[in-house]
Amino acid sequence: MAALRYAGLDDTDSEDELPPGWEQRTTKDGWVYYANHTEEKTQWEHPKTGKRKRIAGDLPYGWEQETDENGQVFFVDHINKRTTYLDPRLAFTVDDNPTKPTSRQRYDSSTTAMEILQGRDFTGQVVVVTGANSGIGFETAKSFALHGAHVILACRNMTRANEAVSRILGEWHKAKVEAMTLDLALLRSVQHFAQAFKAKNVSLHVLVCNAGAFALPWSLTKDGLETTFQVNHLGHFYLVQLLQDVLCRSAPARVVVVSSESHRFTDINDSSGKLDFSRLSPSKNDYWAMLAYNRSKLCNILFSNELHRRLSPRGVTSNAVHPGNMLYSSIHRNWWVYTLLFTLARPFTKSMILVLHVHRFLQRSREQTRDRAE
């Protein structure tokens, strides 16, 4: 168990737990065998279940398999700068029976983004994440970068964005990650970002519209619109429109819009059922911060659904995601009451799992594209 704990794989269940004196090992070609140190013998079958197993999937990103001078396989974790003789994929073995696969992978409220992407290689993929210098955006950007993607952190505050880039590079110096200026509260900035991105002449496989504002006091942007509405919805809407041609050229591509369950607690129609534009960008007298946030999140979902309807025939899919109830981030920073509530709730909040949604959507898109090709 000490070796498992060192490799971060100590979460085993009773069925697969080895008896005292036994050790689980792997061959170079991915087969699992068991060593009995008491009787000094090895065997292919699990000593308790009698099953044969093999490794499923590739090594986690940043890991390499090498052989020591005695011919024994060991594994190097370049990200955390450590070595171990225990294969990190042992937590994801499957039975040697094609009709009864038993993946050991499990996802719950404590699952991290890095665990979700375990074994995935996004080399060659270009990902843009808005609001990526902290919180959900940072975890999303970091996880993609550490799994090979070229990640662009689109942020308003370049000082904090560059610090985020440095933190990612500190975990893996070969990560392809950079920061670009994007202020969603200024439509001209959105336009400049799109122009600068297109000048790079790269593809765009994933666009994560994550940046958002919460509990802001009423104010108007320089474009004359209520700030929460423009930052949470309209700025992203404009960004997607400007990058639509790049997304279509890069198909299969994906737009992920971070929304919220709070979209259910509002309405943007008037008493006759027609869209009331005054509710989207209300005056100071009609403004309530929580309601403005909820309306912007409803706009996110309506936009994502319509975007998917229009662009999915061209290989660009769109999904709006709810990242989780009481997910801890810094979005509450604009009012001390919310800061206090989030601080009290932090021990019960979820981990950063947005990438679970992103990854599932990407895999689905790739499978659909492969099916069409066949």
Sequence-separated (6 or more) residues with CB below 8 Å from residue 139: 112, 113, 352, 354, 355
Q: Given this model, what pLDDT does residue 44 score?
A: 83
pLDDT digits (tens, 9 = 90+) for 188-230: 999 999 999 999 999 999 999 999 988 799 999 999 999 999 9
Q: Which is more confident, 372 or 38? A: 38
Alpha helical stretches, state H, the chain = 2-6, 113-116, 135-145, 158-171, 187-199, 227-229, 235-249, 277-280, 289-311, 336-345, 354-373
Query: C-alpha dihedral over 68, 36, 89, 168, to 10 degrees?
Result: -60
pLDDT digits (tens, 9 = 90+) for 159-195: 999 999 999 999 888 899 999 999 999 999 999 999 9
pLDDT digits (tens, 9 = 90+) for 296-323: 999 999 999 999 999 999 999 999 988 7
Q: 171 near 198, Cβ under 8 Å? A: no
Q: What percent of the chain has pLDDT over 70?
A: 74
Q: Which is more confident, 100 or 49? A: 49
Q: Which is more confident, 267 or 255? A: 255
Among residues 34, 61, 293, 328, the one annotated as catalytic is: 293
Residue 343 has pLDDT above 80, yes or no: no
**Type of residue at 36:** N
Map residue 53 onto helix, strand or coil.
strand
- The torsion angles phi and psi of 158, rounded to 5 degrees, stand at -70, -25
Task: Give the lowest-confidence range in 26-35, 49-58, 159-168, 331-340.
Answer: 331-340
Q: Which is more confident, 343 or 67? A: 67
pLDDT tier at 109, thresholds 50, 70, 90: low
Catalytic, 328? Answer no
Half-sphere exposure of 250 (CA within 13 A, CB side): 21
Residue 332 has pLDDT above 60, yes or no: no
Query: C-alpha dihedral over 135, 364, 294, 348, to 10 degrees?
Result: -50
Sort residue 125 into left (φ over 0), alpha (ψ -120 to 50) or beta: beta
**pTM value?**
0.65
Query: What span, in angstroms and rounded, lies between the C-alpha atoms of 253 and 204?
Result: 7
